[in-house]
Chains A and B, each alone.
Chain A
Amino acid sequence: MKFFDRFRPPRDRLSPGESQLRLVVGLNRVDEVIPGGWNSAINLPTDDAAVQIDRKCADIKRLIASGCGISETHIEHYSALKRYRLENLLNCVIRNCYAGFKLSDVQPKHFEDVDGVNPDARKFTKEERRRRLEKSAPRVGGSARDEVFADLSKVVSVGDLRLIEQRFNQEMERPPTVAVIGQAGVGKTTTVNALFSVEWKTSAIGVGTHVPQGRTVALPSGGQISVTDLPGYGRSIKEDETYERMYHDVMTDCDLVLLIVQADRGDFADDQEMILKIKEWMS
């Protein structure tokens, strides 16, 4: 039994020296930051707006990072609704998630597949994407996994390799668990849907959840992911007090906490307070 315990919960496995903060802060809705700065024909910001979005998000990142004492590498800006910079967010998730390699095959939804995009622009982007995929090193038989094990067989004994393979397969069978949190209406479900190409229903306006909702879904890229949607914070003093214990219990069992913040808002005190707590719980 001890052997299996090593696989969960992850936080117990890390010695204090190598503890890594399993947190990603997503700045959502960057498309709303610059009024009139979005070109919906190609579903990208205009050139001027792109520069301003980057600048303003850099300000917010600095504010959050310095206020909470976390690294800016944990923060990424994007827009779930416009599917803008989803790859960047996904990379940030893979980098900071425990066993993030399990998500390395995930494909976020394509930004050109939203309503209102010019058909010619869509066709061009799709062709360009396919062309680049073909150009990138073609894999001749076998997966990256097989290559790694073939390499390993040259340096470790057969018995050790079998043990490694066994542990690796066990780890791979455990779906990555992600806790998603943020204030009500920041786009938690929209983000999960766009980022992992899944189809969860977004909740109706005004109806918030009061209990964590966990679901395990199959990823189109293979494997599974387990996502826990946590009730939003910052609604009232009383609710935050009630939720704190539950937040703690859910988050410490997760491979990653994805905290979503709206980039087009100005009040970050609630978010910063939450990040400070997560930092304390997760390290």
Chain B
Amino acid sequence: MRLSFHRHTVVFAGKRGVGKSSTLNSLFGFSLATDAAVECTLTPAVRSIASADSSRLRVVDMPGIAANLTSARRFHSFYRHWLSRADILVWITQADVRAYKKDQQFFLDYLQFLKPSSQLMVAIGKFDTLCPGITELQTPEQIAIVKSKIADLRQQLDPYLGRRVDSVRYHPYSVFMGWNIGSLREAVALSEQPTNRTADLHSHEVL
């Protein structure tokens, strides 16, 4: 029997520039290089971190897809390698973007490499661009914006998720405002401990 040092592996992926590295920095206190205009992550960055129950968690920051015409070919083997080892795939999108063609293409091409037992989570970042100053979900307007954004994303992505369509979780958050970061951390760390969710919120509670 092979003993694994890591309890599980979480892979963060998404289009280039959606804020994968800044999300990871905010979630786990990493100091991955981020830049608004320059491609920073050129190879997968693998980190090992201690989770709440003192087991270890492997976190992988993938290079962004769709940077240019050749990046798909360039990163293909990285994605194949890490998706087949992922227990959770966190697919990051940003709230202020409505173009999902490349996200669809990614799911079409790569979801087959994900283990059947693995989880898929779609994280929608930069929500402060739609709800300026959001620190918690309060006003009906904010709830309506979050709901309609998730509905729009579902409409575009669900047809490409195959049998994962019922198990996929959508998680809105904002690194800039620190909104809903805690619950994202819990979700990827698979924490067994009871958690206080009054301040944070999961997508299924929104929907």
List CB contacts (< 8 Å) of B38-86 with chain A.
Answer: 38-39, 64-72
A269 to B36, Cβ gap below 8 A? Answer: no
Partner of A269, one of B72, B97, B108: B72
Residue on A nearest B156 in the bound complex, by CB? A236
| Interface core residue of B36, B70, B102 (most chain A CB under 10 Å) | B36
- Is A250's beta carbon under 8 Å from chain B? no
B97 to A185, Cβ gap below 8 A? Answer: yes
Residue on A nearest B105 in the bound complex, by CB? A237
- Is B171's beta carbon under 8 Å from chain A? no
- In the assembled complex, the CB of B118 is this many whole angstroms from the nearest CB of chain A, namely 24
- Is A212's beta carbon under 8 Å from chain B? no
Partner of A272, one of B16, B69, B104, B152: B69
CB contacts (< 8 Å) of A237 on chain B: these are 101, 104-105, 108
In the bound complex, how far is the Cα of B38 from the Cα of A68, in angstroms? Answer: 19
| Interface core residue of A59, A60, A64, A235 (most chain B CB under 10 Å) | A235
A235 to B101, Cβ gap below 8 A? Answer: yes
CB contacts (< 8 Å) of B68 on chain A: these are 63-64, 67, 268-269, 272
CB contacts (< 8 Å) of B70 on chain A: these are 67
- Is A34's beta carbon under 8 Å from chain B? yes
In the bound complex, how far is the Cα of B148 from the Cα of A102, in angstroms? Answer: 44
Q: When A266-B39, A267-B16 are in contact, do A234 and B67 touch as well, CB less than 8 Å?
A: no
In the bound complex, how far is the Cα of B98 from the Cα of A56, in angstroms? Answer: 24
Residue on B nearest A52 in the bound complex, by CB? B37
Task: Rank and list the top 3 A-B pairs by shortest CB-CB distance, nearest first.
Answer: A266-B17, A266-B16, A234-B99
Interface residues of B (CB under 8 A from A): 15-18, 36-39, 64-72, 96-102, 104-105, 108, 148, 152, 156
Interface residues of A (CB under 8 A from B): 32-35, 56, 59-60, 63-64, 67-68, 183-185, 206, 208, 232-237, 239-240, 263-270, 272-273, 276
A–B Cβ pairs within 8 angstroms, 5 of them = A232-B98, A234-B101, A234-B102, A236-B104, A270-B101
